[in-house]
Amino acid sequence: MSEEKNYFAKGVEWPVIGFMAVVHIVPVVLCILYPSWPGVVSFLILYLITGLGVTIGYHRKLTHSSFDSPMWVNKVLAVMGLLSGEGPPVFWVALHRKHHKFSDLEGDPHSPITDNFWWAHMLWIFPKQHKVKLGALYGKWAPDLVKVPFYQFLEKSYFFWHLGLLAIVYGTGYYYGLHFSEAHSASYMAMSFVAWGFFFRMIWVLHATWMVNSASHIWGYKNYKTTDESRNNPVVAVLAYGEGWHNNHHYTQSAVNHGHRWWEFDVSFVVIMLFAVLSYPLKWVGLGKYRLAYRLRFYNHKEGKLKTWFPRKKDKKVKKVLSGSV
């Protein structure tokens, strides 16, 4: 952090600091007190749900529209992303689009180059956010999302969703302990699920995805010359479901695939492909627009261009055939 900059001159966001303090301190204590394998499984399941909520929902769908999907799918993905603890969708999307606009230059909300590692990693969320400024930021960078009442609702009800999930995780653990666990009591399993599935999972997902902003702008290799310091970082790619191929992403931001070479494995892309393939048969009966994912913007690095996978054009043709007009 450069000395002349006073990042916290306008105060700090105490609710954010409090929230982060709780989700960092509580799991250390609870995971030691309540270890169990079913608790670890609850961690893995919620790591998948909320992690993909960020990578597929917040990032590839809501920020970059790298594939098309029905509104209900977008809303489910937004809730999954929200449960990661990274803020409501409009906030996330606005800040991320600004990051792309000013990558590693003055104006980038989280750059380890203009500032430092810890600022880019997590400190940038702590300064006081003035409501008026935040509103202007949303209007400028995420006007498409501001228009959707559901995303506004998520903004206002943000903490309640976490409390709801906490209750569900506790209840599931209690039910598991009551009916399936011989080694531990119901209340022990409830606390174990809360420790691993709720708290430990949250810090894991937060740091895995925060590393995209910090580590993937410092360490790794570049496939492409970009105006920023974005890198392809295999460790971050594994932890953050393919998001670590960040130099590729900065080069082709709307591409649905962040991995461009065959060895650049990208879990988020695989899941989006599964969405597209499994719901593909809807197209045969003229219901193509109800598919979970279609019109995937795939970047073919050998040809150096974006191609549309699972397009919609043929849907119309099929519809015409079905209706007898062709």
Q: Cβ-closest residue to Zn ion?
A: 230
- Considering the complex, state which of residue 201 and residue 246 has its C-beta at the smaller distance from Zn ion: 246
Tell me the closest approach of the beta carbon of residue 187 to Zn ion, in angstroms.
Answer: 43
Tell me the closest approach of the beta carbon of residue 242 to Zn ion, in angstroms.
Answer: 12
Which chain residues interact with Zn ion by CB under 5 A? 230
Tell me the closest approach of the beta carbon of residue 249 to Zn ion, in angstroms.
Answer: 6
- Considering the complex, state which of residue 201 and residue 231 has its C-beta at the smaller distance from Zn ion: 231
CA atoms within 13 A on the CB side of 225: 0
- Considering the complex, state which of residue 230 and residue 233 has its C-beta at the smaller distance from Zn ion: 230
Tell me the closest approach of the beta carbon of residue 324 to Zn ion, in angstroms.
Answer: 45
- Considering the complex, state which of residue 230 and residue 252 has its C-beta at the smaller distance from Zn ion: 230
- Considering the complex, state which of residue 84 and residue 230 has its C-beta at the smaller distance from Zn ion: 230
- Considering the complex, state which of residue 198 and residue 269 has its C-beta at the smaller distance from Zn ion: 269
Tell me the closest approach of the beta carbon of residue 61 to Zn ion, in angstroms.
Answer: 11
Tell me the closest approach of the beta carbon of residue 35 to Zn ion, in angstroms.
Answer: 36
